[in-house]
């Protein structure tokens, strides 16, 4: 994990718990950066109020 960039890289079959500490309210996009995964729906938004 790289907290400074917000990237989390896991090998296949591995899971992880991630704790986020938002600094600013807003809507943040998230996606899987592996080939085709985002195109197949591995995307979402995190809403901080």
pLDDT for the residue 43: 92
pLDDT for the residue 41: 92
pLDDT for the residue 3: 56
Q: Model confidence over 1-46: pLDDT tens digits?
A: 555 677 888 888 999 888 888 889 999 888 888 889 888 999 999 9
pLDDT for the residue 48: 93
Q: How many residues does the chain have?
A: 49
Whether residue 22 contacts residue 48, with contact meaning beta carbons closer than 8 Å, is answered with: yes
pLDDT for the residue 2: 58
| Interatomic CA distance for residues 42 and 49, integer angstroms | 23
Domain ranges, ordered by start, for the chain: 20-49
């Amino acid at each position: 994990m790289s907290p400074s960039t917000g990237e989390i890289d896991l090998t296949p079959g591995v899971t992880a718990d991630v704790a986020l500490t938002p600094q600013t309210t807003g809507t943040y996009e998230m996606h899987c950066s592996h080939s085709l995964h985002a195109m197949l729906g591995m995307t979402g938004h995190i809403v901080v109020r």
